């Protein structure tokens, strides 16, 4: 199976660098721990009121904010790891091995899927580790783990597809990863993933982060599989569009 071989090759090349893997796991966990510390410290002074009784319909006073930002960090991480897929494909393109692949009887979709699935496996595995560690150490409540696993896999798939699509738009490989990083950071800020923002209307819904974040939020609120179904369908549809667009961009004649 050619697709299995492409997946295996990508996963194998990623596993060759254990320091890089450790870095990818530790940085988001550190970020979550940091933001949890910042919010808890900041709220310590404001949570004891004399004249105001606070009732929250969903969460205790501080938890919701920590969870929201933690979701934002994880979603941003998932999208950023898509760079791994795009850089793998760019390397193949620059070494002209992509051209050689096209000479074999393999369809564009198979090649693209191989890279995206490889990225999905890598990204899902790292994200799962981050979620488990943050749940144990920073006590983030992520909700039903089965739901979370489904969201992680679909969002990782989306991340890989998005990354390939963006990388197909640029010829300069060094600029690709930079542009992707900036675009993802911008989407994260607009979706409220780095710090709480309001007043942007429907704009956050034009970011990938918002769709993925909503799925995580619904899962945390124990809304069940039916509660995240709309988000999952939306994410899957967007992924499909990116895959088809990438297959068109990475046509034989464009390589």
Partner 1 sequence: MNIVKIALNVYKRLFKDITAIAFIIVFPMVAAIMAHTMLSSSVQKIGITNPDKDVLGLTEFLKNTQKYEVSIISEDDTIKNIDNNKKLAILTIKDNFNIKSQGNQEYVTVICKAANQNVAELNSIIEQYTAARITGNIISTSDIKTGESPQQKPLAAIGIFSMFMLVFSGVAMALLLEDKQKKTFMRIFSSPIKEHEFVAGNLIAFSLLGMVQICVFIFFSIVILKMDFYMNVFALFLILFLFFISAIGLAISIAALIKDYGKYNLVISLISIVTSFLSGAFFPIDSLNKVIIRLSDFLPQKWLLKAFKAFITGSGFKDALIPMIVLLLFALVFFVLGTKVLKPSAEDL
Interactions with partner 1, residue window 172-231 (CB under 8 A): 172-175, 177-182, 184-186, 189-190, 194-200
Name the phi and psi angles at 251, rounded to 5: -75, 160
Complex with partner 1: residue 224 or 237, whichever CB lies closer: 224
Cα 148 to the center of its chain, rounded Å = 13
**Nearer to partner 1 by C-beta: 197 or 248?**
197
Q: Which of 145, 169, 230, 240 binds partner 1 (CB under 8 A)?
A: 169
- Would residue 222 be called left, alpha or beta, if left means φ above 0 and alpha means ψ between -120 and 50 degrees? left
Binding-site size, partner 1 (CB under 8 A): 72
- Within positions 133 to 152, which residues make up the interface with partner 1, using CB under 8 A? none
CA-to-CA separations, 134 to 39, 147, 168, in angstroms, rounded: 16, 17, 34
Q: Quick check: 121 binds partner 1 (CB under 8 A)?
A: no
Give least dist CB 1 to partner 1, A: 26
CB 140 within 8 A of CB 67: yes
Query: Per CB under 8 A, which of residues 55..74 are in contact with partner 1?
Result: 55-65, 68
83 part of the interface to partner 1, by CB under 8 A: yes
Length of the chain: 255
- State in angstroms the smallest separation of the CB of 117 from partner 1: 18
Minimum distance from residue 149 beta carbon to partner 1 (Å)? 23
* CB of 18 or CB of 105, closer to partner 1: 18
Q: Of 219, 169, 181, which Cα lies nearest the Cα of 82?
A: 181
CB atoms < 10 A from the CB of 128, how many?
16
Stretch that binds partner 1, among 112-120, 148-156, 170-178, 226-234 (CB under 8 A): 170-178
CB of 240 to partner 1, least distance (A): 25
- 26-55 binders of partner 1 (CB under 8 A): 27-28, 30-31, 34-35, 37-39, 41-44, 46, 49-55
Three-state secondary structure readout of 169-187? HCCCHHHHHHHHHHHHHHH
CA geometry: angle 95, 77, 183, nearest 5 deg: 70
């Amino acid at each position: 199976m050619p697709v299995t071989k492409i997946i295996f090759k990508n996963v194998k090349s990623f596993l060759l660098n254990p320091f890089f893997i450790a870095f990818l796991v530790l940085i988001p966990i550190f970020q979550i721990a940091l933001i949890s510390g910042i919010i808890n410290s900041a709220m310590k002074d404001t949570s004891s009121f004399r004249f105001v009784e606070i009732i929250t319909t969903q969460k205790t006073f501080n938890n919701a904010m920590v969870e929201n930002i933690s979701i934002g960090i994880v979603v941003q991480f998932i999208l950023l790891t898509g760079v791994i897929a795009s850089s793998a494909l760019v390397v193949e393109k620059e070494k002209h091995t992509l051209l050689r692949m096209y000479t074999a009887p393999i369809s564009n979709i198979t090649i693209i899927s191989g890279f995206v699935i490889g990225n999905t496996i890598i990204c899902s595995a790292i994200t799962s580790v981050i979620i488990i560690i943050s749940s144990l150490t920073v006590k983030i409540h992520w909700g039903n783990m089965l739901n979370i696993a489904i969201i992680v896999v679909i969002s990782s798939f989306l991340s890989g597809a998005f990354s390939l699509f963006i990388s197909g738009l640029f010829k300069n490989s060094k600029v690709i990863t930079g542009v992707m990083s900036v675009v993802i950071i911008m989407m994260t800020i607009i979706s409220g993933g780095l710090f709480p923002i309001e007043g942007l209307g429907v704009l956050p819904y034009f970011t990938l982060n918002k769709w993925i974040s909503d799925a995580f939020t619904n899962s945390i609120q124990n809304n069940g599989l039916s509660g995240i179904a709309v988000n999952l369908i939306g994410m899957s549809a967007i992924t499909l569009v990116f895959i088809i667009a990438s297959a068109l961009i990475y046509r034989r004649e464009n390589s």
